[in-house]
Amino acid sequence: MSVSMTKKTWLLGGIAAVAVASAGATMFANGSPKVDGPATAAKIVASLTERCPMATPGDVAAFDTCRTTIGQGPEGEAVGTASVLWGGEQPEKALKDKNLTWFRGDLFLRMYVSLYMFTGEWTGEARDDGTYVIRTQAYFRNELPPGHFPYPFWHSSAKWDAYEKSNQISLYLSPDGKVKMVTRHSGGSDSARPAGYKHVEPPVFAGQWNWRDESGQAQPQVTLFSDLYSANNPHLGELDQRYRAFALNLRDADCESCHVPDGHKLMRKLTLLNTPLHTAGEVEATLRSIRESSMPVNKQGDKVKLDPALRETLLRNGDEFRRLLNEADAWELSNGTGRLARAAAPRG
């Protein structure tokens, strides 16, 4: 099953994302910027550096501080809870041809940007279409325990290598000052890479995006509701149960064949539905696709009609899952727990 949805100027559908705007204005609207690019960049980079400063690549405490505070400053205002694209820079490709993945902004900061340490160094580039690109010097935490990565990046040796060699995170600001795309790249500088930074041989990928460690703990732990919400959140147990029901429905609809981390072999603009938090970020778009009957599709890109009973169950469990997410978020915010970097945008 492939989630098909409109996000800004792309329509995601099945095997490929189809650009519905001209190449020169695919995601970033033409016109003069409404924000001061350099001033915005300085604030965002300063905040990222304060929350995620340089440390040893395996410092779990530094990583935890980063991922639980990131999003509380200007970077959170710029990313928000709207959709953002993430992936390698792929400078040789046009935007419509890049292999990128959609994420809900606040969850993306917590699960992905937190994997980097920032030096505070940056450069900016103003483009003719009104985009302002912030290129920050940053290095990947390659020595973290496996469950601290949102999925096994080592499923592909080339991907793991690209993460290890990356030294730059670029944030693409649209004219309204919102971040619409973030990329990693090795085209920056290694001048501040930590002394002794070296290649880490990751675990052997056994074909499982989710697993249990030797103690029986579900992994990756950073993608679990228990990692995001307080232990005494009264909605946590029911939320987990409803997610499991919805995930089983998605499996029955054959979503696992597309919406997993190696799904770029089937689509350029990917959405992930393989963990609780990834699915939480995409539940609204998923339900929209089901209601619009724009999914599922087969590997040839042709629509396949869902069994009516399965469609009804998907929508029912998905709506309940979304409702419980809203209630869990609201409880955290009303109780001032600080477990959520930002208030989640309404998912209705």
Structure tokens, 119: 């030096």
Could you tell me the residue range of the domain that residue 63 belongs to?
A: 5-334
User: What pLDDT shows up at residue 82?
Assistant: 86
Residue 211 lies in a domain: yes
Residue 8 has pLDDT above 50, yes or no: no
User: What pLDDT shows up at residue 260?
Assistant: 86
User: What pLDDT shows up at residue 35?
Assistant: 81
Identify the band that residue 202 occupies on the pLDDT scale cut at 50, 70 and 90. Answer: very high
Which SS3 state, helix, strand or coil, does residue 187 take? Answer: coil
Residue 117 lies in a domain: yes
Residue 195 lies in a domain: yes
From the list 36, 26, 30, 27, the residue with the least C-alpha distance to 128 is 30
Packed helices 236-252 and 276-291: angle between N→C axes, nearest 10 degrees: 60
N-terminal to C-terminal alpha carbon distance within the chain: 22
From the list 330, 347, 348, the residue with the least C-alpha distance to 339 is 330
Peptide bond into 220 cis (omega under 30): yes
What does the mean pLDDT of the chain come to? 86
Residue 347 lies in a domain: no
User: What pLDDT shows up at residue 27?
Assistant: 54
Give the mean pLDDT of 236-245: 96
User: What pLDDT shows up at residue 136?
Assistant: 98
User: What pLDDT shows up at residue 324?
Assistant: 96
| Dihedral pair phi/psi, residue 153, rounded to 5° | -60, -20
User: What pLDDT shows up at residue 31?
Assistant: 55
| Dihedral pair phi/psi, residue 159, rounded to 5° | -70, -45
Q: Are 206 and 213 in contact (CB under 8 A)?
A: no
Which SS3 state, helix, strand or coil, does residue 136 take? Answer: strand
Residue 166 lies in a domain: yes
Percent of the chain with pLDDT over 70: 84
Residue 344 lies in a domain: no
Residue 154 has pLDDT above 80, yes or no: yes
Structure tokens, 310: 């399965």
Angle made by CA atoms 279, 85, 9, in degrees to the nearest 5:
105
Residue 316 lies in a domain: yes
**pLDDT single digits (tens) 297-325:** 666 666 778 889 999 999 999 999 999 99
**What total number of domains does the chain contain?**
1
Residue 243 lies in a domain: yes
User: What pLDDT shows up at residue 347?
Assistant: 36
How far apart CA 243 and CA 167 sit, in angstroms, is 36
Identify the band that residue 95 occupies on the pLDDT scale cut at 50, 70 and 90. Answer: confident
Give the mean pLDDT of 102-123: 96
b vs e for 10-41, b when ≥16 Cβ sit within 10 Å of the residue's Cβ? bebbbbebebeeeeeebbbeeeebebebeebb
**pLDDT single digits (tens) 261-282:** 887 677 788 889 999 999 999 9
